[in-house]
Chains A and B, each alone.
Chain A
Amino acid sequence: MSAFPRHIFRQGLMASAPFTLMIVPFGALFGVLATAQGMTVTEAMAFSIVVIAGASQFAALQLMQEGAPILIIILTATAVNLRMAMYSVALTPHLGRASLWQRILVSYFLIDQSYVLGAAEFDRRPEWGLAEKLAFYFGVITPICGLWYLATWVGASFGRALPAGWPLDFIVPVSFLAMVSPLLQTRAQRVAAAVSAGGTLLLWWMPYSSGLLVAALAAMIAGAVVETQEERRHAG
């Protein structure tokens, strides 16, 4: 094994800088909301350390607040993270030959930012070997995940200082929409979002909030179908 390519680790640190801006408010917000709903600081931290996936943590909070059954909470919040299987597929050609413990660590830190930055940079640098790719990857996740834990702790520890009477119940929906709406740029993405929202409202009569899972599946199919149609139209 060659020496750890430190300059490439630093490139990863630099690449992650713009993303750290977003991690801090969201991590802090998670900490604030988790303790406002009755979690201890330790429990909020456990959430951020064990799950380490912001959107699904907010999803779990929202569903707990609505009193959904445990199994539905776990399934729905996990469904928010289904995209990580796709990230795992995408990084396998680059990092699949790393040792088992390295892959165990890479998997733990596989988040939106490490996938997006990693996949883009690895494609641009065909000359990089495994050591360089791993160095870049860990450069990206060090500040992002470190700040995620730290921000959760700050929010959970000092959130009670916030004035009472803020519409905290609605901060979660607004944050969610703020996370997802920048992704709605193509017609297929917008169709998927519309099927998801409309479908869940139409299926709200289904027991245990299970309508959301059905609507989500329909929305994924709708997105894939529209994308396929548009490709055909462009090709033809």
Chain B
Amino acid sequence: MPVEAIADKGQLWTIILGLGLGTYLLRFSFLGLIGNRSLPPVVLRMLRYTPMAVIPGLVAPAAVWPAATGGETDPARLIAVVVTVLVGIRTRNTLWAMVAGAVTLGLGLWALG
């Protein structure tokens, strides 16, 4: 399946450079520009939650309505999601979670698909 934003090189490089610049500015913000002034504690507290605030939302639609099945909910993919999350929470280890999720997905697709 061709991906339009990758096939169109102008779009692709806009994304690479835009994302790179935005991310660099976030990294440079205090070290480079703002110096020793700090952010209000409530803002710092919110920023700490960005990984769990963005990533589950990014994954949820793909987990519930996967494009590969035409948007139809797929039990094998849902089970893989649940296993990945539980193993990740339990072991606190990304690699184990990843392996458990991939194996579950493979088995699920083979058994149910």
Contact = CB atoms under 8 A, between A and B. Distances in A.
A212 interface: yes
Contacts, number: 299
B14 A85 contact: no
Interface in B55-81: 55-64, 66-68, 77, 80-81
A11 interface: no
- Interface class of chain A by DSSP: helix
- Interface class of chain B by DSSP: helix
Nearest to B88: A181
Interface residues of B, number: 78
A167 B46 contact: no
A42 B110 CA distance: 35
A172 B63 CA distance: 10
Interface stretch (A73-81, A139-147, A150-158): A73-81
Q: How large is the interface on A (under 10, 10 to 19, 20 to 34, 35 or more residues)?
A: 35 or more
A86 B2 CA distance: 37
A22 B95 contact: yes
A141 to B, nearest CB: 12
Contact of B62 (A170, A182, A227): A170
Interface of B: 1-7, 11-20, 22-24, 26-32, 34-36, 38-39, 42, 44-64, 66-68, 77, 80-81, 84-89, 91-95, 97-98, 101-102, 105-106, 109
30 contacts: A38-B2, A39-B6, A43-B12, A50-B20, A55-B55, A60-B15, A63-B58, A74-B15, A76-B58, A80-B54, A86-B48, A92-B36, A92-B38, A93-B36, A170-B62, A170-B77, A171-B102, A173-B59, A173-B77, A174-B102, A178-B97, A180-B55, A183-B52, A195-B53, A197-B60, A199-B57, A201-B60, A216-B53, A219-B52, A223-B48
